A and B are shown apart, each in its own frame.
Chain A
Amino acid sequence: MQVTLKGIQLAYDRHNKIFDQLSFHVQDGELLALLGPSGSGKSTILNLIAGLLTPNAGQILFDETDVTKLDARNRNIGMVFQDYALYPQLNVMDNIAFPLKMAHVKKATRREQAQKLAKLVHIESLLTKFPNELSGGQQQRVAIARALAKKPKILLLDEPLSNLDAGLRVELRDEIRHIQQVTGVTTIFVTHDQNDALRIADKIIVLANGVIQQVSTGADLYRHPRNLFVAQFIGSPKINTIPVANLIPYISKEIPASILTQAVTAAFRSESITNDPVANALMTNLPVTMTHQVQIGRDSQTQLQFENNRLISTAISDNYTQKIQTINVAPRGFFLFNDDDVCIWEGDAHD
């Protein structure tokens, strides 16, 4: 099912608007990630779609049907809560079958359905256990199975991975993707972790302070951020930012004067900084002091001091002992932002 939000406005009171004119669209069968820092309104959007909150203005459409005023009970939505919200007095089987019981499905059919779903999420051996006997990852699987029990048209996941440890997180992340592809259900999942979003989402909506910053694929967000917030939020380590004025003497490539006069902030990815010669270099021979170098798994991160700015590079060769360096900056991964933090120029888009 397609989901469309049109001009949504939500306010707890007159002065504190959470959303004003929020609109977006989710394709049928898509896995959409709502990505943003805490307090950006991600979970609130889920509650709006689920019908647990009603917008002050605007419309919510499922396909062509206006569901803005429809009760949560009748929207046919499966939702997985951050704390799972499994019913403690019911065992796994009854938890999964609960939505079917509410719909007065016969007991034998209910059990059969629950078993199928348990198999899908790999918990068929736990059916007689109670929620307090399960680990976090197992509870998560039960919650997903319960959300899928009534064959929802839309699946909502609220921070599904944030209570899990690193290993389990990766496992369940792929599991969610797998389940979504098997069932083909339109899925919206909320996360504050870019890794989760970049790994499994078809499309990512980046949110900050209740405003959509950019809607795109993970690769596109990284390569073509629309504004400074997206550039800084996506990518690890965080993108280097420097006032443009500091860099002007080192620019070796033609940048239109009209752009340069508008540009306020320059940002460049850690992999674009290197001490090796670069073809088409955007900037050359920036004098820097190397302050620190660490090996993180496959990558090495080098901290550099350039005038009053700290830079991080992941493209400087390991164990480089010589203290004072000059660096070059490649055009790919270089962006200029204007006064309103909007991206006005990309380093490799003009060759």
Chain B
Amino acid sequence: MINAKPTLKSTLKALLYLAPLLIVTITFTIWPLISSFLMSFYTKYNYFTNQVKAMGGANFAYLWQNPDFHLAVRNTLVFVIGVVPLTVILSLGIALLLNQINWLSSFFRTIYFLPFVTSTVAISLVWNWIFHQDNGLLNALLGGSVDWLNDPHYSLTALIIVCVWRGLGFNIVLFLAGLNNIDNHYYQAAKLDGASAWQQFTNVTLPMLAPITVLITVNEIISSFKVFDQIYALFHGQAGPANADLTMMYYLYQKFYVEGQYPVAAASGVVLFIFIVIITGLAFWYFQRHSIKIWGRRS
């Protein structure tokens, strides 16, 4: 029935259907979320007996003064600012090119998608070769002699290159889907209205790709903030030379697994969470404000 009103019985029945997923989600996502949030306020705590003797903001105060954490925040922000725009622009560009070729198009699409399905460890191994100071491909191409992975001035750039390269495939596929959704009539109309190829790109392609661009940008911001495994694999379990690739997630990992400072790790997790919320919030706020330009409707 379309016009059925919810009753107590129907609500209970719905809950029953939802129960399997709800139980799993609450146990493995919601509950750890809450407990780690609480843990960030434990100042005297025995992890193994789970005894809390005192609570307070000391963990946050510690982070506020800890130079390593400052470095982690700085590195993370540099990383996000380096990766996100590059990934979005490059994947859009490649998607546009791929959209133009008809010949062997699925072959090229597969090639670009491959990094996404390859394991991080394998990728890091290959990039270790590429970045090698004496025999590496990159130095051979650039004609320099940069020690990409061991020089603190370059190691964050090296990380950004690997992460951009790895993220391309998936975002290209998303952009290609977006491009396929643009009705050819818009291009024909624009052409007859006198739009040049560039004007067609700025007046048809870009505005019509706006929704997918928002999705890719926000998704890329969130996943860049959480970067960890690429660092771990690329620098063999280190945070780069002289902690040059220490990100917030890596800091959290070190505090938790290496140093055993569980409440500090939890507190840094909360700070990371707040960063992500603020930045994605800002992104959404921006897109909402400009929604008329982007989607052609008021929201």
Residues of A within 8 A of B (CB): 50, 52, 72-73, 75, 77-79, 81, 83, 85, 87-91, 98-99, 102-103, 130-133, 146, 149-150
A102 CB to closest chain B CB (Å) equals 4
**Residues of chain B lying within 8 A (CB to CB) of residue A90:** 296
C-alpha spacing A108/B125, complex, angstroms: 60
* Those 6 A-B pairs whose CB atoms lie nearest each other, nearest first: A89-B296, A88-B296, A99-B193, A85-B185, A102-B194, A89-B207
Assess the B185–A81 pair: CB atoms within 8 A: yes
B202 CB to closest chain A CB (Å) equals 11
Assess the A89–B193 pair: CB atoms within 8 A: no
Assess the A73–B204 pair: CB atoms within 8 A: no
**Residues of chain A lying within 8 A (CB to CB) of residue B195:** 73, 102
How would you classify the secondary structure of chain B's contact residues: helix, strand, loop or mixed? helix
Closest B residue by C-beta to A98: B193
B185 CB to closest chain A CB (Å) equals 4
Of the A-B pairs whose beta carbons lie under 8 Å apart in the complex, a sample of 10, sorted by A's number, is A50-B188, A75-B192, A79-B189, A85-B186, A99-B194, A102-B190, A102-B203, A103-B194, A132-B297, A133-B297
Residues of B within 8 A of A (CB): 183, 185-186, 188-196, 199, 203-204, 207-208, 210, 292-298
Assess the B191–A72 pair: CB atoms within 8 A: yes
A89 CB to closest chain B CB (Å) equals 4
A226 CB to closest chain B CB (Å) equals 34
**Residues of chain A lying within 8 A (CB to CB) of residue B192:** 50, 52, 72-73, 75, 77-79
**Residues of chain A lying within 8 A (CB to CB) of residue B194:** 73, 99, 102-103, 150
**Residues of chain A lying within 8 A (CB to CB) of residue B292:** 89, 130
Most buried by A among B183, B208, B296: B296
Assess the B297–A83 pair: CB atoms within 8 A: no
C-alpha spacing A89/B291, complex, angstroms: 9
Assess the B188–A85 pair: CB atoms within 8 A: yes
**Residues of chain B lying within 8 A (CB to CB) of residue A78:** 192
**Residues of chain A lying within 8 A (CB to CB) of residue B296:** 87-91, 130-132
C-alpha spacing A318/B3, complex, angstroms: 48
Known contacts A72-B191, A98-B203, A102-B199; A89/B295 CB under 8 A:
yes
A15 CB to closest chain B CB (Å) equals 21
B199 CB to closest chain A CB (Å) equals 6
Assess the B297–A150 pair: CB atoms within 8 A: no
Known pairs A81-B188, A102-B203, A132-B296 / 16 extra A-B pairs, C-beta < 8 Å: A52-B188, A72-B192, A73-B195, A77-B192, A83-B183, A85-B185, A89-B295, A89-B296, A98-B193, A102-B190, A102-B193, A103-B194, A130-B296, A130-B298, A146-B193, A150-B193
The contact of A83 among B185, B196, B293, by CB within 8 Å, is B185
Assess the B189–A81 pair: CB atoms within 8 A: yes
C-alpha spacing A90/B296, complex, angstroms: 6
**Residues of chain B lying within 8 A (CB to CB) of residue A77:** 192
**Residues of chain A lying within 8 A (CB to CB) of residue B199:** 102
C-alpha spacing A87/B203, complex, angstroms: 9
B86 CB to closest chain A CB (Å) equals 26
C-alpha spacing A75/B294, complex, angstroms: 30
Assess the A73–B191 pair: CB atoms within 8 A: yes
Assess the A73–B295 pair: CB atoms within 8 A: no
**Residues of chain B lying within 8 A (CB to CB) of residue A73:** 191-192, 194-196
Assess the B191–A87 pair: CB atoms within 8 A: no
**Residues of chain B lying within 8 A (CB to CB) of residue A91:** 296
C-alpha spacing A52/B296, complex, angstroms: 27
Assess the A89–B293 pair: CB atoms within 8 A: yes
C-alpha spacing A150/B194, complex, angstroms: 9
A275 CB to closest chain B CB (Å) equals 53
**Residues of chain A lying within 8 A (CB to CB) of residue B294:** 89
**Residues of chain A lying within 8 A (CB to CB) of residue B190:** 98, 102
A199 CB to closest chain B CB (Å) equals 26
B210 CB to closest chain A CB (Å) equals 8
B16 CB to closest chain A CB (Å) equals 40
**Residues of chain A lying within 8 A (CB to CB) of residue B297:** 88, 130, 132-133
B30 CB to closest chain A CB (Å) equals 38
**Residues of chain B lying within 8 A (CB to CB) of residue A102:** 190, 193-196, 199, 203
Closest A residue by C-beta to B189: A85
A72 CB to closest chain B CB (Å) equals 5
C-alpha spacing A55/B110, complex, angstroms: 35
